[in-house]
Amino acid sequence: MLPNIVFHTRVYDESSDTYSWKDMTTEDYFANKKVIVFSLPGAFTPTCDTYQLPHFEAMYDLFAEEHGIDEIYCISVNDAFVMNAWAKKQNLKNVKVIPDGSGLFTKEMGMLVKKDNLGFGLRSWRYAMIVDNGNIISVFVEEGKEDNHAEDPYEYTKPQYIMEWMNAHKA
């Protein structure tokens, strides 16, 4: 099961053209849904900004049609303001961002690492997972997880890799 966390989010209200605070729980995001979650070191960073987020956005319909995915979530140890600005810059229509500003979810997942060597502080190791109604079906973790890792591996959390895995494990 996923950790039970409260995420402090900022939600846009089109009618007033403003954002307001809204607390969302793990259950709010994951109950009665089949989702893909991917987590990354930080919004606006090269691999995350250029490849991972845009490729998940582009492949959303394929995941939904071929595997019944209801949502794709991107979680990062960034605050709601940063995550919303990144989503806006990326012009996201399909992937939803979840701010884990204090790293509580990431810590409970065992994926919190130090990135002081890059000036980031505590961040998420790159991982992805398939979750069905709050139950973790499969987790994909990049190799070499350690504090202050000099590299930023990106192989097992690519949407193409996850699609290949899902195709090979169809029920």
Is 89:57 a contact under the CB 8 Å cutoff?
no
Of 129, 133, 131, give the one whose Cα is nearest residue 31: 133
At residue 168, does pLDDT exceed 70?
yes
Instruction: Domain 6-168: give its CATH superfamily.
Output: Glutaredoxin (3.40.30.10)
Q: Which is the catalytic residue, given 5, 35, 36, 48?
A: 48
User: Taking the model in full, what pTM does it have?
Assistant: 0.95
Q: Looking at residue 12, what is its pLDDT?
A: 87
Is 48 in the active site?
A: yes
At residue 171, does pLDDT exceed 80?
no
Is 74:40 a contact under the CB 8 Å cutoff?
yes
Q: In what order do the strands lie in the sheet with 34-40?
A: 95-99, 71-76, 34-40, 127-132, 135-141
